[in-house]
Chains A and B, each alone.
Chain A
Amino acid sequence: MSEAIFRDSESDRAFRAKRFTGKALIYILLIAWAIVCLFPIYWTITTSFKTAPNVMQGALIPWVDYKPAWLGWRSLGLSPETIGAESTVRDEFMKRFLNSAITAISASTIAVILGSLAAYGLSRFSYRFGFMRNSDISFFFLSQLILPPVVLALPFLVLYKQLALLDTRIGLILLYTLTVLPIVIWIMRDQFESIPTELEEAALVDGLSIWGAFFSVILPIALPGMIAAFILSLVLTWNEYFFAALLTSTHANTLPVMVASQTGSQGISWWSMAALSFAAIIPLIVIGVVLERYLIKGMTAGAVK
């Protein structure tokens, strides 16, 4: 093609060049920010495979800058050689991991159940609790968001001590449920308000009770929203540190508390800390990658009308 018959005019070509630079700029910025977001994770993974000299050199790329070793994972008892053997560190880690998983999952489940019911009720019926009407009740639930954890922390510490709930999973679950409940109610109210009431009316005409209509008609439709609320709660409760640090000591410690307690020690062994941190964040990275759709749904509920 030596000579094209149809050519773009001079001005069109200038426009294309401008467009191209614009595109390039967008991609450069996107990639730069992606690096900002991903590099710390990459750094943690690679550090968990380093040995002392590698860390001091600040080696970056495995197999090029340094030879990966299982040092960090061995200290956790999770490397190939130690995985079969007895390991107290691994038992400790698994215990904390289990604590985190149990508290996060149960708190999120309870919050989603209680929150969905409340949100459904508030979006469908009008209530009067004393002077409080629907909007007041909604506001009461949502205003819990503003309550900073530190206000509740010390009274709870004293109360839990009296109730022998200190350092128990149940105590943590109760508090975590409380902290995520307003968020769940917010998300679910948004969900239920988008479902037309004609659906229940049809179900009621067909002879179902209100609760029957809720369970057999509304719940299946609202399920994606509930999953979103559940996952968002899971992220928040899994990462929670403040209450866990105050209210647990030996039995019910969660993973963030374990990570935090290691950082203070003298002579940090970078590789094992990196392995521990990475093990603590990997469940959420998996959730973030696989269930990103639900997370975004949960976060944007109520924001866009």
Chain B
Amino acid sequence: MSQGDLLHVVTADDISDRRRLFGRAIVWGSALVVALVAALQTAQHMGYADFGFQTWRPVLYAYIFWAACLCWSQVLIRGEHGKRTLFVLPAALFVVSLTVFPLLFGLVIAFSNWNLSSPLGRQFNGLDNVRQMWADPFYWNALRNMVWYTLAILVEYVIAFALALLLNSEIRARKFFRVAFLLPLMLSPVAVSWMIGKSMLEIRFGPVARFARWLGWDNPSFFGSPEVARFTIMLLDAWTFIPFMMIMILAGLQAIPKELTEAAKVDGAGPWKSFWEVTFPLMLPVSITAILIRIIFKLKLADIIINLTAGGPGGATDSVTSFIFREYRDRSNVGYGTLLAMVYLVIIIIAMTILMKVADRFARPRT
């Protein structure tokens, strides 16, 4: 991205020293208020004195006050430039305070034994959680499952591409089909897990089970064996998210100029050849974006599993998120769960970085 303003504005700011001083003063003053309130609260928390605080809310209010002062002072100190900063600053402050701070806090929790229901409170236990994780077969199993779930995206991609091609051909009632294909994405995973997972896949009288029997599967059970259960979860998740990839690919298809495919036709390429030689290469960048975003969404997969199988049978369908969710629900051990989540985050960051690097090289047009 180029540096230097796209929108170049020259303004003559006439900022007096007193104004600048006042701007600095409110930032540091409000920061002092935050520090003071935090110190008082910590003192009370440690048991040195009682100031009558019920919760940590005052610190929160002080922090919000500081954030507002910071925004205001930007205008005071830097004038017109400060007004520009105001576009980005609120969002940046919001994200930083809601992610960076909890993440740092999470790092502290991750290395402690903290059962929320026990009166002992947080106890630092060093690397015990790491050792426990290393020996926890269920966590590794959940990670392995995530690999399987992620690989299923390739199949979803093929289906989504096929559907997009269908929608892009000359058909009537295109809008109807587009809306119909889009609807699964609208539905909440919890409702889906009930509507399909519990109701339609019901072994005795669910319509899908009936259909399976009619096809000759004598004793359909969709959550009995580990493989089948995992496959069912993949199917349900695919059902909800295929529309997402389909819409992106469809947009890509519609952006391809008609002349290109026509030129290929004139040159004597059949539909098969023109797809592989013209359409598919042109669609590579869009495809890669769609797959990457889909992977990001897939890594958050949990709702369906929590509601449908609760990880069963024997942890075969667990995703990392659902595993940690149950770990917390069953044992309310915050420390161990946080460590697992942190490890997961590190793995994701490494994997996504590699993936994006590879994708970048792959998608770059060969010249």
Whether A33 and B190, one on each chain, are in contact in the complex, defined by CB atoms closer than 8 angstroms, is no
By CB atoms of chain B within 10 A, which of A115, A145, A150 has the most? A150
- Shortest Cβ gap from B102 to chain A (Å): 4
Say which size band chain B's interface belongs to.
Answer: 35 or more
**Quick check: is A17 within 8 A (CB to CB) of the other chain?**
no
Q: How far, in whole Å, are A50 and B176 apart by their CA atoms in the complex?
A: 28
Whether B57 and A58, one on each chain, are in contact in the complex, defined by CB atoms closer than 8 angstroms, is no
Residue of B nearest to A178 (CB): B98
- Shortest Cβ gap from A112 to chain B (Å): 11
**Quick check: is B4 within 8 A (CB to CB) of the other chain?**
yes
Q: How far, in whole Å, are A12 and B183 apart by their CA atoms in the complex?
A: 40
Q: How far, in whole Å, are A37 and B60 apart by their CA atoms in the complex?
A: 46
Which residues in B have their C-beta under 8 angstroms from that of A280?
Answer: 188, 190-191
Q: How far, in whole Å, are A295 and B183 apart by their CA atoms in the complex?
A: 11
Whether B341 and A273, one on each chain, are in contact in the complex, defined by CB atoms closer than 8 angstroms, is no
Binds A, one of B19-27, B220-228, B320-328: B320-328
Q: A125-B87, A141-B95 are known contacts; what are 9 more A-B pairs with Cβ within 8 Å? A: A30-B171, A33-B166, A140-B92, A150-B344, A154-B337, A242-B321, A260-B190, A292-B178, A296-B178
Known: A44-B199, A241-B303, A303-B252. A155 touches B109 (CB 8 A): yes
Whether A117 and B91, one on each chain, are in contact in the complex, defined by CB atoms closer than 8 angstroms, is yes
Q: How far, in whole Å, are A43 and B188 apart by their CA atoms in the complex?
A: 16
* Chain B residues within CB distance 8 Å of chain A: 1, 3-7, 9, 54-57, 60, 80, 83-88, 90-92, 94-95, 98-99, 102-103, 105-106, 109, 114, 116, 163, 166-167, 169, 171, 175-196, 198-200, 204-207, 210, 239, 243-244, 247-248, 251-252, 255, 285-286, 289-290, 293, 296, 299-300, 302-303, 306-307, 320-321, 324-325, 328, 334, 337-338, 341-342, 344-345, 348-349, 352
Whether A164 and B55, one on each chain, are in contact in the complex, defined by CB atoms closer than 8 angstroms, is yes
Which residues in A have their C-beta under 8 angstroms from that of B187?
Answer: 41, 239, 281, 284-285
Whether B87 and A120, one on each chain, are in contact in the complex, defined by CB atoms closer than 8 angstroms, is yes
Whether B181 and A259, one on each chain, are in contact in the complex, defined by CB atoms closer than 8 angstroms, is no
Whether A178 and B190, one on each chain, are in contact in the complex, defined by CB atoms closer than 8 angstroms, is no
**Quick check: is A13 within 8 A (CB to CB) of the other chain?**
no
Which residues in A have their C-beta under 8 angstroms from that of B300?
Answer: 148-150, 242
Whether A29 and B166, one on each chain, are in contact in the complex, defined by CB atoms closer than 8 angstroms, is yes
Contact with B along A119-133 (1 / 0, CB 8 A): 011111111010001
Q: Which of A125, A156, A177, A292 contacts B7 (CB 8 A)?
A: A125
Whether A241 and B189, one on each chain, are in contact in the complex, defined by CB atoms closer than 8 angstroms, is yes
Which residues in A have their C-beta under 8 angstroms from that of B320?
Answer: 148, 150
Which residues in A have their C-beta under 8 angstroms from that of B86?
Answer: 117, 211
Whether B6 and A150, one on each chain, are in contact in the complex, defined by CB atoms closer than 8 angstroms, is no
- Shortest Cβ gap from A129 to chain B (Å): 7
Whether B205 and A121, one on each chain, are in contact in the complex, defined by CB atoms closer than 8 angstroms, is no
Q: Which of A27, A29, A38, A43 contacts B199 (CB 8 A)?
A: A43
* Chain A residues within CB distance 8 Å of chain B: 26-27, 29-30, 33-34, 36-41, 43-44, 47, 55-58, 60, 114-115, 117-118, 120-127, 129, 133-135, 137-138, 140-141, 144-159, 161-164, 174-175, 177-178, 181, 185, 197, 200-201, 204, 209-211, 214, 235, 238-239, 241-242, 245-246, 255-257, 259-260, 263, 268, 270, 273-274, 277, 280-281, 284-285, 287-289, 292, 295-296, 299-300, 302-305
